[in-house]
């Protein structure tokens, strides 16, 4: 038996890593918990320029003894709560079916918190493991021709998410140029994944997951029903149609880029003064991201003199650290005179972009009519700098068109919860009163726990998500040409 069976007699485990090293069991203080997993609708994952919302959870704890109050100096965890004000502390939550299984429901960090004097409790609002990535702004060198998953590995390594804490599909596309310039790692990761219609998220165990567009065909959790919702476990089911998000024209923007010839990318506007013995770091932001920059040569790229104009370049060491769109230069004046860096130019080969291009596709068989004769309802996807080629734009526009041209059946199931189910899982709904025996994909989970674990699942019907059965598609090294198998997008 597992959590996908009828769930009774559940216990819970709430742990917080106060000291950043060891988990402390706070289960006895938990009054209630709730959370949200996933963004809606899932077609917004295709080519978007905004990160999907990370999973969140809220835990309400008993605080009779002011254990969690950061101002309570007698609390045994005062050293940690006062130092951090509970911000950014790791937290995880599991449901336990005694002697059967323990399943993690949430892994993340405390984001905000507060107490209620009236109720003598303390509430923790938490965000999944994307939390530190949302705060982390990084700069990188310019990466050329990186496959989507390769670039994600680069960024994951940058923020310390090692191979054991991530699971990436092989990407379908190669991105010509990628770089970060003091940008949010989480936002960029999302846009990179979405540039090929994939998705990136932290799962309930806290692992970073990248699923390519092909996961719709190859990932077992999307191809095989992970659970059947039966009437006996459903409190209520609603079946609205998502008419609002139906379109008969889609437009995907892409931004072609190329490396240009050598140009000046930076010039200092005012002298940099260096006291004798002083080390000074200057961030030089380039006018464009650069594929390469020239080495710095005295009198060609810079001039360093004393107040009288005599050359002091021999007294100053220059140590550059180069990123795609900035160079951090450390100047060290080892001499005994005040030195002036009167000129400092950076030359290099910049990345230049062409005007944004559009790839537009019509759906003559749309539920809102043929755009050739009826009103046009346009879905525009743009602003993703990792969509740089017409091939990416065509791929995304065709997928999008097929996903949004018809109204989709939505099922909102309110009932007993199953901790193992996550967004994008394929599930079955069997409810005779509503006449349902359908399969679909979970878009969003809202769960709650206060002695019982319940959840509301928003599920999108899988009809016309894939226009053909998965077994109809052509697989390299498996399908023969005379098998009548079909091409994917």
228, 426 in Cβ contact below 8 A? no
CB of 179 to another protein, least distance (A): 17
Beta strands in 316-367 (DSSP E): 316-322, 326-333, 339-353, 357-362
The residue (of 109 and 395) whose beta carbon lies closer to another protein is: 395
The residue (of 200 and 339) whose beta carbon lies closer to another protein is: 200
Spatial separation of the C-alpha atoms in residues 292 and 72, rounded to whole Å? 55
User: 8: burial class by Cβ within 10 Å (0-12, 13-18, 19+)?
Assistant: exposed
Residue 11, phi then psi, degrees to nearest 5: -120, 170
The residue (of 294 and 332) whose beta carbon lies closer to another protein is: 294
CB of 197 to another protein, least distance (A): 11
The residue (of 146 and 322) whose beta carbon lies closer to another protein is: 146
CB of 394 to another protein, least distance (A): 6
List interacting residues with another protein (CB under 8 A). 145, 147, 170-174, 176, 214, 217-218, 259-263, 349, 389, 391-392, 394-395, 398-399, 402, 467-468, 473-482, 484-489
DSSP letter assigned to residue 338: -
The residue (of 94 and 392) whose beta carbon lies closer to another protein is: 392
* Preceding peptide of 41 cis, ω within 30°: yes
Q: Which residue has the tokens 């464009």?
A: 288
Residue among 27, 30, 150, 34 at smallest CA distance from 453: 34
Spatial separation of the C-alpha atoms in residues 409 and 388, rounded to whole Å? 33
CB of 171 to another protein, least distance (A): 7
For CA atoms 260, 263, 266, 272, give the dihedral sign.
positive
Secondary structure (3-state) at 199: strand
CB of 243 to another protein, least distance (A): 24
The residue (of 21 and 480) whose beta carbon lies closer to another protein is: 480
Spatial separation of the C-alpha atoms in residues 427 and 409, rounded to whole Å? 14
CB of 47 to another protein, least distance (A): 14
The residue (of 6 and 464) whose beta carbon lies closer to another protein is: 464
Q: Provide the terminal-to-terminal Cα distance of the chain, rounded to the nearest Å.
A: 39
Spatial separation of the C-alpha atoms in residues 374 and 114, rounded to whole Å? 53
CB of 403 to another protein, least distance (A): 12
Q: Which residue has the tokens 């038996």?
A: 1
Return the bridge partners of 49, or none.
none
Structural tokens at position 333: 């004046």
Which helix (H) or strand (E) segment holds residue 94: the answer is strand 90-97
Structural tokens at position 357: 């291009």
CB of 286 to another protein, least distance (A): 15
61, 68 in Cβ contact below 8 A? yes
The residue (of 14 and 172) whose beta carbon lies closer to another protein is: 172
The residue (of 221 and 227) whose beta carbon lies closer to another protein is: 221
The residue (of 334 and 479) whose beta carbon lies closer to another protein is: 479
Residue among 254, 187, 222, 206 at smallest CA distance from 470: 222
The residue (of 51 and 171) whose beta carbon lies closer to another protein is: 171
CB of 395 to another protein, least distance (A): 5
Angle separating helix axes 185-194 and 148-158, nearest 10 degrees: 170
CB of 480 to another protein, least distance (A): 5
CB of 468 to another protein, least distance (A): 6
Spatial separation of the C-alpha atoms in residues 170 and 218, rounded to whole Å? 12
């Amino acid at each position: 038996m597992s959590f996908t069976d009828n769930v009774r007699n559940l216990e819970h485990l709430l742990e917080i890593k106060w000291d950043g090293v060891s988990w402390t069991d706070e289960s006895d203080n938990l009054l209630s918990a709730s959370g949200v997993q996933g963004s809606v609708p899932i077609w917004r994952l295709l080519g978007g320029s905004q990160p999907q919302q990370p999973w969140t959870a809220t835990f309400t704890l008993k605080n009779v003894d002011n254990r969690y109050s950061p101002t309570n100096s007698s609390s045994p965890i005062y050293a940690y709560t006062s130092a951090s004000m509970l911000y950014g502390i790791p937290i995880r939550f599991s449901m336990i079916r005694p002697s059967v299984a323990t399943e993690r429901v949430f892994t993340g960090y405390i984001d905000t918190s507060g107490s209620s004097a009236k109720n003598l409790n303390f509430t923790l609002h938490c965000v999944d493991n994307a939390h530190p990535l949302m705060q982390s702004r990084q700069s990188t060198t310019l990466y050329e021709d990186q496959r989507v998953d390769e670039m994600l590995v680069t960024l994951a390594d940058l923020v310390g998410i090692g191979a054991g804490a991530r699971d990436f599909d092989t990407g379908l596309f190669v991105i010509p140029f990628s770089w970060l310039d003091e940008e949010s790692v989480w936002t960029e990761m999302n846009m990179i994944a979405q540039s090929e219609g994939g998705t990136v998220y932290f799962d309930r165990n806290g692992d970073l997951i990248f699923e390519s567009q092909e996961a719709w065909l190859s990932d077992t959790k999307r191809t095989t029903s992970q659970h059947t919702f039966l009437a006996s476990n459903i409190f209520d089911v609603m079946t609205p149609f998502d008419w609002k998000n139906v379109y008969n024209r889609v437009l995907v923007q892409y931004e072609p880029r190329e490396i240009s010839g050598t140009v000046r990318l930076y010039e200092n506007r005012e002298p940099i003064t260096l006291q004798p013995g002083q080390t000074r770091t200057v961030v030089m932001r380039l006018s464009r991201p650069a594929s390469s920059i020239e080495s710095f040569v005295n009198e060609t790229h810079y001039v360093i003199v004393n107040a009288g104009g005599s050359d002091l370049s021999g007294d100053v060491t220059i140590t550059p650290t180069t990123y795609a769109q900035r160079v951090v230069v450390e100047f060290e004046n080892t001499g005994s005179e005040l030195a002036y860096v009167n000129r400092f130019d950076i030359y290099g080969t910049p990345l230049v972009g062409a005007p944004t291009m559009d790839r537009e596709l019509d759906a003559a068989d749309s539920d809102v009519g043929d755009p050739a004769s009826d009103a046009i309802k346009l879905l525009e996807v743009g602003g993703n700098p990792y969509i740089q080629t017409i091939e990416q734009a065509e791929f995304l526009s065709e997928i999008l068109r097929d996903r949004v041209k018809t109204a989709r059946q939505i099922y909102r199931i309110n009932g007993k919860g199953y901790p193992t189910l996550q967004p994008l899982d394929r599930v079955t709904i069997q409810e005779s009163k509503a006449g349902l025996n359908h399969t679909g994909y979970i878009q969003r989970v809202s769960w709650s726990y206060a002695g019982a674990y319940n959840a509301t699942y928003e599920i999108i019907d899988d009809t016309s998500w894939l226009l053909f059965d998965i077994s109809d598609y052509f697989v390299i090294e498996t399908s023969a040409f005379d098998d009548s198998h079909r091409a994917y997008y």
